[in-house]
Amino acid sequence: MQPEISVCLAVYNEAEVIRRVLGEWWQHLRRKGKAFEIIVIDNHSTDRTPEVAKEFIRRHKAVRLVRNPRNLGYSGSCRVAAKAARGRLVLFTDGDGQYVPSDADLFLLALEKGADLVLGHRVKRADPFLRKITSWVFQVSYRILSGHRVIDPNCGFRAWRRGARIFFLLNDGLPFSNPQLICAAAQAGQTTAEVPILHQVRTGGQSFYHLANLPRIYLRFLAFILPWRTRRICEVLGLTKRKSYR
């Protein structure tokens, strides 16, 4: 049976929590009464994450594992999910337990109402103080430099309709997929919506956003957003031809 909903979980060294997270998603989707699939997108973990996922899959036929041949980064996993998903509506989120499966209903409702790309915004973040500060700096920078009034441009919970061509803009070397997706949606004339969601303390896995990595991450962000903004202005002024991702 063709699934109506595809839930894609991005994982990297989540062996401690992936079984619990899969169980929570499985129970929620079963209660909805619609055909679904759960896809574990393993970004070439070095721990037992694939083995733990396979143990769960043996007892649950609607779950499957896609393992990246190498570490493709977060944006790479997002693009892999867009290709692998078979459902009409696709949700992509982190597999580390930060997000609540019941919030998926808000994303699905926004898609049904006509949004092309739906992003979550964390109402009350459960991150350490320093992480909140660095995220705030990034959010303000993105809003100023991109011109997009997005509340939470790098939340790890998003949804789209199957076949959305905005994923062609995703660069595997860039860790922030949401800014790329928002820019691609704007380029293609598609609508972006945000829904308020809960956020929980991360209990496992490894985050790329360590303090030592932040200067390099921010420079890579600027290397993406500044040329994009410049091209966008030139297109609006008619100085260059508009590139479409339809």
Q: What is the pLDDT of residues 230-243, one digit of tens each?
A: 988 898 888 877 66
For the record, the structure tokens of 43 come out as 């970004």
127 lies in some domain: yes
Tens-place pLDDT, residues 66-93: 999 999 988 899 999 999 999 999 999 9
Tens-place pLDDT, residues 30-43: 999 999 999 999 99
Q: Give the integer Cα–Cα distance in Å for 114 and 53.
A: 34
Helix (H, G, I), strand (E, B) or coil at 45: coil
244 lies in some domain: no
By percentage, how much of the chain surpasses pLDDT 90? 62
Q: Which of 113, 5, 122, 133 has the alpha carbon at shortest distance from 62? A: 5
**CATH number reported for the structural domain that contains residue 147 in this entry:** 3.90.550.10
Beta strands in the chain (DSSP E): 5-11, 36-42, 63-67, 89-94, 117-122, 157-161, 192-197
Residue 121 pLDDT class (50, 70, 90 cuts)? very high
245 lies in some domain: no
Domain span holding position 121: 5-236
Record the pTM. 0.90
pLDDT at 1 over 90: no
243 lies in some domain: no
DSSP state for residue 164 in the 8-state scheme: -
246 lies in some domain: no
Helix (H, G, I), strand (E, B) or coil at 177: helix
What pLDDT sits at residue 175? 67
Q: How many domains would you assign to the chain?
A: 1
Residue 169 pLDDT class (50, 70, 90 cuts)? low
What pLDDT sits at residue 46? 95
Residue 28 pLDDT class (50, 70, 90 cuts)? very high
222's CB contacts (< 8 A; 6+ apart) are 145
213 lies in some domain: yes
What are the helix (H) ranges across 85-198? 104-112, 129-146, 177-187
Handedness of CA 98, 88, 39, 139 (dihedral sign): negative
